[in-house]
Structure 1
């Protein structure tokens, strides 16, 4: 492979890695001032742990030899010794590192659902187990030769030219993380005094900074894999990543204005993230006009969806379900209607929608069950949620012995 392509692969890897600190900033600004350290530490803890697990065995699990295999053998090249000594080690190891950044941010995203009330050690145990049992196998299903990757051929035959479209992680990242977030929110229960308006973001500029970093890094997230594809679709991917995200901001703040009477900066930031989530699976398979429509729909629907936690009674602290699960479902299912050449409304049949729906809901159900079982087991053994008095005192000082802001006279 030429050095320019490898250089873009390294750059894209760094962009996606930077997204996890972006998540930390985005989430950190949304919580209480005495929870910001805890919130950001869950992202940085995921960054440390998942990187190590991916190199040791996660990458091995993320590819399979056939659609009937659950996951790759974790011990097939433990620690990547053989891969590092191969003739194509440069290209291979950049690909490994790029894949690691997706695993990291998927786990980090989940943490927003349990803000203000989770033990850090229990979170780290959950992160390691969920990555091993859920993310690594799902990555194999979607991108590594597994059953989702082969679903179209299995159902309709190779001649139909139908396959599940998930370019950068609508199922493997966002539906996966959103379903797990819902499970953990149910396991840990509601924060003390949970009701609409009880907590407000303690640092709005921090949240906007996080959203900006996420948008910046998302160009690596969506267009990064093109270094392996001779940049064939990179122009379409980058314009769709810009357009859908921008349109989602408009969709969110318009709904917010009608619903609450004001368009807020946090709403604009949340709309941007909703648009990024929705365009993730679809970025290479929509014309720009359909991408703009997707953004508008995702922003508007997610702005409404974040209110469901109050109606349904689950405490998803930072709206991981309303943005990532709902946005991921919208982006994945939208392809069944508007994917270039195969979507139902642009010359295709029902087949594309069928495979998109099967993949989306299979990942949702599997991830929810795995996360609920792991979270429930941790809660009933070592405990996952901090004590009520510690929640009131502030999770930063009780769990980490630190404060986000040292105020002096």
Structure 2
């Protein structure tokens, strides 16, 4: 008897493997069935989204580097540290109840229930977002969205917020602000999902919510006791960190937007192209504004902010518009954000990280433009999704986008204020450092034996009884005098 015949007889004698029960929330018992069989032939979707998730993770430290570079040197380490602590804290929150509150299949129109509390039933069953993905992967991918958003929000504590209350706030904010808004927007039971408002990858839950909440954080904390050469808080202490952080964010955004198709399709490739096009147009738009406003001079930080503004603007529209329209959206968003340079002064709120300007205002502009430019000729590239915006003759969609913008911005701002005011009066959770600690810097107050940069410089200054702030102030004063002399000479000429 041949080997083939023997193998065939053995297979006939073996009992047939039990089928996976489609009603099993776990997706089958791996001790009894092969849970991978339900994804045979479509594994490429899993590989693609897993790769996108790994790329998105880079946004978290990217924001930390960006914030660290924008801060004054004496408070930069706090922003780097919080990027890792936020990722760790939000991971626990998401596993504990965050995922269930946002994505449980039995959710109501405003918030989910605790059907998936502690990741119950989150394993190999097809996910609520796509039947091509196991729910554990979908859960992880969405976890990173939440972590990125919380990391954006903590920028509102810029240079005067205590770290432990900031992390506690992040946990609570993810629970009562992000998860409900994510449920509204992306859960099939959500009220915005069924309105329908159009939000491809997070214009509302990620950007508008984080921008308005960071504004609330800055409002409740109060203004900084601004001292030293960088009293305006508008000059980055390390442009290299700003540039590096922006590069990581730009790269991570390919996974952020590109993976939001939840599968591989031509539409996913268009989304990736749109993301790059909008960011590029954002750089151009902000640079043009800077060039005009600052007498034909450039700014690296301005170019970086333009890239982020373009990314923010295209986020809600990436899967609904053509590449050329994505450039229009990126350019318009960047110009609008650049022209709002003094929005903090107009509002009388010290939000020095420009979170509201870039994410809040940028997200609103992007969401509004999505209602105008969304077209079925792009959305149907995945073979399933058909949406129509104003450009397709559906003017009603513009009004629905305004409903999305107003509801998310008002809810996130008001609830954040209530949460912060409540924390402010809880013993041990006071939000702000002391005036002395703020003047010395968060890094010296909150950390032991660590500083950004070369410690030898500071040890030498300490030996000579000098302070870096005093030297910088003197240098800045001399530089200002020199510029004034040059300007006077130019006028005489």
Q: TM-score range by the shorter chain?
A: over 0.9
User: Contact conserved, 2:233 with 2:352, CA < 8 A, in 1?
Assistant: no
Q: Distance in 2 between matches of 1:324 and 1:253?
A: 18
Q: Distance in 1 between matches of 2:281 and 2:72?
A: 30
Aligned to 1:366: 411
Unaligned stretches of 5+ residues in structure 2: 1-38, 377-387, 461-493
User: SS of the residue aligned with 2:103?
Assistant: coil
Aligned to 1:323: 358
Unaligned stretches of 5+ residues in structure 1: 152-162
Q: Distance in 2 between matches of 1:292 and 1:44?
A: 33
**2:437 is aligned with 1:390:** yes
User: Contact conserved, 2:99 with 2:116, CA < 8 A, in 1?
Assistant: no
Give the TM-score normalised by structure 2. Answer: 0.77
Deviations 1:238-272 (A, max 9, x none): 11101111001111011111112222000000000
Q: Report which stretch shifted further, 231-240 or 58-67.
A: 58-67
User: Contact conserved, 1:196 with 1:310, CA < 8 A, in 2?
Assistant: no
Out of 284, 303, 316, the residue aligned to residue 268 of structure 1 is 303
Change over 3 Å in CA distance of 1:6–1:64 after alignment to 2: closer
User: Contact conserved, 1:175 with 1:363, CA < 8 A, in 2?
Assistant: yes
Aligned to 1:30: 70
User: SS of the residue aligned with 1:82?
Assistant: coil
Aligned to 1:97: 140
Q: Distance in 1 between matches of 2:363 and 2:206?
A: 8
- Structure 1 residue 63, shift from structure 2 partner: 2.3
Out of 72, 76, 80, the residue aligned to residue 119 of structure 2 is 80
Q: Distance in 1 between matches of 2:420 and 2:82?
A: 15
Change over 3 Å in CA distance of 1:202–1:54 after alignment to 2: same
User: Contact conserved, 1:306 with 1:321, CA < 8 A, in 2?
Assistant: no
User: Contact conserved, 1:240 with 1:292, CA < 8 A, in 2?
Assistant: yes
Aligned to 1:241: 275
Aligned to 1:212: 247
Change over 3 Å in CA distance of 1:116–1:300 after alignment to 2: same
User: Contact conserved, 2:106 with 2:113, CA < 8 A, in 1?
Assistant: no
Deviations 1:24-60 (A, max 9, x none): 0111111011111111222222111011110121111
Consecutive aligned runs of 4 or more in structure 1 exceeding 4 Å deviation = 64-68, 85-90
Deviations 1:192-230 (A, max 9, x none): 13898455211101100000000001000001133x344
Larger gyration radius, structure 1 or structure 2? 2
- Structure 1 residue 406, shift from structure 2 partner: 4.1
Aligned to 1:343: 389
Higher relative contact order, structure no. (Cα contacts within 8 Å, ≥ 6 residues apart) = 1
State how 1:155-194 maps to structure 2 within 5 Å.
163-193=196-226
User: SS of the residue aligned with 1:62?
Assistant: helix
Q: Distance in 1 between matches of 2:241 and 2:402?
A: 36
State how 1:246-257 maps to structure 2 within 5 Å.
246-257=280-291
Q: Distance in 2 between matches of 1:196 and 1:270?
A: 21
Give the TM-score normalised by structure 1. Answer: 0.92
**2:437 is aligned with 1:404:** no
Number of residue equivalences: 395
Deviations 1:350-378 (A, max 9, x none): 21101111011101000001111111122
Q: Distance in 1 between matches of 2:334 and 2:126?
A: 46
Q: Distance in 2 between matches of 1:359 and 1:66?
A: 23
CA RMSD, Structure 1 to Structure 2 (Å) = 1.9
User: Contact conserved, 2:124 with 2:136, CA < 8 A, in 1?
Assistant: no
- Structure 1 residue 293, shift from structure 2 partner: 0.9
**2:337 is aligned with 1:302:** yes
Q: Distance in 2 between matches of 1:279 and 1:361?
A: 19
Deviations 1:287-312 (A, max 9, x none): 11211111111111111113211232
User: Contact conserved, 2:279 with 2:311, CA < 8 A, in 1?
Assistant: yes
User: Contact conserved, 2:125 with 2:134, CA < 8 A, in 1?
Assistant: no
